[in-house]
Amino acid sequence: MSNQSESELPHRYRALTPPGGPKEHLVFVYGSLKIGFGNFKYFLDDSEFVGRACTVDPAFEMVSLGMFPAVVKGGDNSIYGELFMVDQHTFERLDMLESNGDMYLREQFFCVDMDGKVRSAWMYCFIDHLTIEERQQWSSKREDIEVFDSQCGFDVQSWTYRGYKS
């Protein structure tokens, strides 16, 4: 269970749909929403963990926004993260957290899980305001991103950049 009740959350994080509905949305998370990170206990603690996964297409870059990472489309990397089944209430709260439509855009992409099963999942992509030079600066830090994921218990050595087990 979440450590914070809905009424204790700031108004911007209170969903319109009451909690407790069916978990029917598959969401792929890659940053502060992953297990063990800061936003997990407030947003996904009551959701169903499906497993670790990565995007099928290597069409992204992960960049740092300071306190948290963001994924931008148009790169040449797969993104490693976790899959969760969430209810409508949580789905709405995630949209609010990610400022869906303003800072991030929720879109569906194909992910492959650790068993090799390909799934369509929602992922939040940063609405890209970075210059080409800023993108190149962050893409040169790929090794740091792999260390970030490996510290979360994700074995990056067992995946190719196409997103499949080697």
Residue 83 structural domain: 6-158
pLDDT tens figures, 108-134: 999 999 999 999 999 999 987 655 555
> Does 90 fall in a domain?
yes
**Active-site hit among 61, 82, 92, 98:** 98
> Does 36 fall in a domain?
yes
> Does 43 fall in a domain?
yes
Look at the pTM and tell me if it is higher than 0.85: no
> Does 97 fall in a domain?
yes
**CATH at 126:** 3.10.490.10
Has 98 been annotated as catalytic? yes
Number of separate domains in the chain: 1
> Does 56 fall in a domain?
yes
> Does 166 fall in a domain?
no
- CB burial of 25-48 (b: ≥16 within 10 Å; e: otherwise) equals bbbbbbbebbeeeebbebbbeebe
pLDDT tens figures, 7-23: 555 555 555 777 778 89
